[in-house]
Amino acid sequence: MRFHRRSRLLAPFLLVPLISSCFASGGGDDSGSGDEGEGSRLRVALAFPPAENLSPYGADATLLSRLAVTEGLTALDANGSAAPALAESWRRDGEKTWEFTLRDATFQDGGEVTPAAVAASLTHATDAEPAPAALAGVTLSAEATGERVVRITTAEPDPVLPLRLSSPSLAVLSAKAYGKSGHVDPVGTATGPFELTKVNGAGSASLDRFDDYWGGRAQASGVDARFIADGTARANALRTGEIDIAEAVPVAQAATLEKETRRDTATTRTTSLLLNAESGTFEDAKLRAAARAAVDTFVFAEDVYEGYADPAAGIYGPAVTWAEGKRTRPVGRAAAGKAAGETITLATYDNRPELPEVAQVVKQQLEKAGFEVKLTVREYSRLEGDALDGKFDAFVLARNTLLDTGDPVAVLAGDYTCDGGFNIAQLCDKGVDSAVADAEKIADPAKRQDAAMAAEARILGSDAVVPLVHQRIITGVGSSVQGVILDPYERTLVGTGTRR
């Protein structure tokens, strides 16, 4: 029996103002330090409420990064490469060791960001249970080796460690953040341009500008965040002027917003149909092939997403700009069998309003091919455990392929290998595992991309995953707002230049 680590799917969103100009910014320029005045407070509506008391190690990590509270040693630039954040530079020292040189920075509680503090913060992350997704399968240790240098050693060679350290779940916090019970408190202990000052349960949070931020003072004086799970309510709040920025506006609500107040951005998020390859009906590769053949992906892009999406080409979509030119045909596909009334359970979640409709269309397509389908729709947290335990035959999942680490190989290892911690498809294929393992050893970025695509070809050949659509995220932006960060990796939303 394979072990599945329960790692909560990150809410689909490390703010890094240093590189925010690399991404599109809605409504204006995102430059400047904001020294000209106090600025207005930003009113922001987020789709996912805190699920784990704002712990940086799970789903809440991206809430903190999107609100510009936390940051790590590195960040992702627009090309998906590691860029400086709290570390201004780094170098590899042998196969298993890296040295990161810190910039001058201050924690929001007034303490200096020292190598010892960074090493302690990373050690807490490695000791967390469950481990952050970015550290899945990785053992590392960190130590201070000078006034400005942190030395990080991994048990096995890790050629993409700088990318891995860009993960929102590896944000650096001060010693005051870590309690004896294992609770991590980001209130006033992070390093970003906005300091979390108050959290009102799952309803709202208040943030004030952190004037000693190393990247310059933010132009807004603070952020008032509301957690509004209902997409229609988020759109209405923007339309009536109650908020300035609404993330993840549902496709069905896009037309209700004025054209100048909505932005759509290609993302690295792909919605897929995952088929349980370990047990039940879809243990049979021929029936998986039959299900794949029954799915018409163009319907989802044009009808369900009303043009705010692209038909799926693979695990990686058009926002992963290098993927299309390197993609190869699926390897090892079985011939499609014929469904003969097999009853299957199909599940999805309603946190993303389009997914139930996607699942309903999938249900109709599979029924047309001869399957009998029972559909289950719940809130995500009430489904995840069952999905990871393989209790469904099929699952519709929206997954950001580069959110956790920025490494294209990491999502393949986590989602589609025998020991993957987020393997909802229950796939265990020697050819896939070998291809992913080969890719994990490669340091050269271009060659690693080639190897990732070779592994993708084997995964798609298994028909355990049927990519349906590559999503575009719609962000509602008030007409007076400038500098919203439209990030294809969904890690950032506001930055030092976001203002109204």
Q: 365 pLDDT exceeds 80?
A: yes
Residues 125 and 43 in one domain: yes
Secondary structure of residue 4 in the 3-state scheme: coil
Q: 462 pLDDT exceeds 50?
A: yes
Give Cα separations from 141 to 127, 151, 153, 443 (angstroms).
10, 8, 5, 20
Kindly report, residue by residue over 183-203, the tens digit of the pLDDT.
899 999 999 999 999 999 889
5 lies in some domain: no
- Give 3's pLDDT tier (boundaries 50, 70, 90): very low
3 lies in some domain: no
Residues 247 and 286 in one domain: no
8 lies in some domain: no
Instruction: Please tell me the predicted confidence (pLDDT) of residue 291.
Output: 97
- Give 18's pLDDT tier (boundaries 50, 70, 90): very low
Instruction: Please tell me the predicted confidence (pLDDT) of residue 334.
Output: 96
Across the chain, mean pLDDT equals 90
Q: 277 pLDDT exceeds 90?
A: yes
Cα atoms in the Cβ-side hemisphere of radius 13 Å centred on 316: 29
- Give 8's pLDDT tier (boundaries 50, 70, 90): very low
Instruction: Please tell me the predicted confidence (pLDDT) of residue 406.
Output: 82
Residues 246 and 304 in one domain: no
Q: Max Cα separation, the chain?
A: 70
Which of these ranges, 25-39, 136-150, 177-191, 471-485, has the smallest mean pLDDT? 25-39
CATH of residue 450:
3.10.105.10
Exposed e or buried b per residue across 257-271, where buried means at least 16 C-beta atoms within 10 angstroms of its C-beta = beeebbbbbbbbbbb
Q: Which amino acid is at 203?
A: G
Per the structure, the count of domains in the chain is: 2
Instruction: Please tell me the predicted confidence (pLDDT) of residue 190.
Output: 98
Residues 287 and 228 in one domain: no
Identify whether the C-beta of residue 205 lies closer than 8 Å to the C-beta of residue 60: no
Instruction: Please tell me the predicted confidence (pLDDT) of residue 38.
Output: 66
Q: 2 pLDDT exceeds 70?
A: no
Whether the CA torsion 52, 55, 59, 63 is positive or negative: it is: positive
410 lies in some domain: yes
Residues 192 and 250 in one domain: yes
Instruction: Please tell me the predicted confidence (pLDDT) of residue 1.
Output: 39
Mean pLDDT of 145-154: 95
Residues 162 and 276 in one domain: no
331 lies in some domain: yes
Both tokens of 474, joined, read 């719609």
Q: 380 pLDDT exceeds 80?
A: yes
Both tokens of 234, joined, read 């988020």
Give Cα separations from 108 to 101, 214, 320, 327 (angstroms).
20, 11, 34, 45
Residues 223 and 271 in one domain: no
Q: 118 pLDDT exceeds 70?
A: yes
Mean pLDDT of 444-462: 94
Residues 245 and 110 in one domain: yes
Residues forming beta bridges with residue 319, ordered by sequence position: none
Q: 393 pLDDT exceeds 80?
A: yes
Residues 321 and 413 in one domain: yes
Question: Could you tell me the residue range of the domain that residue 101 belongs to?
Answer: 17-258+479-486
Rounding to the nearest 10 degrees, give the CA dihedral for residues 37, 25, 164, 187: 40
Residues 128 and 145 in one domain: yes
Q: 13 pLDDT exceeds 50?
A: no
118 lies in some domain: yes
496 lies in some domain: no
Residues 83 and 222 in one domain: yes
CATH of residue 188:
3.40.190.10
- CA 245/CA 225 separation, integer angstroms: 10
Instruction: Please tell me the predicted confidence (pLDDT) of residue 6.
Output: 38
Identify whether the C-beta of residue 366 lies closer than 8 Å to the C-beta of residue 373: yes
- CA 471/CA 265 separation, integer angstroms: 9
Mean pLDDT of 210-220: 97
500 lies in some domain: no
Residues 21 and 151 in one domain: yes
Kindly report, residue by residue over 309-348, the tens digit of the pLDDT.
998 999 998 888 888 889 999 999 999 999 999 999 999 9
Instruction: Please tell me the predicted confidence (pLDDT) of residue 22.
Output: 54
- Give 349's pLDDT tier (boundaries 50, 70, 90): very high
Identify whether the C-beta of residue 443 lies closer than 8 Å to the C-beta of residue 267: no
Kindly report, residue by residue over 31-66, the tens digit of the pLDDT.
444 344 467 999 999 998 888 888 898 888 999 999
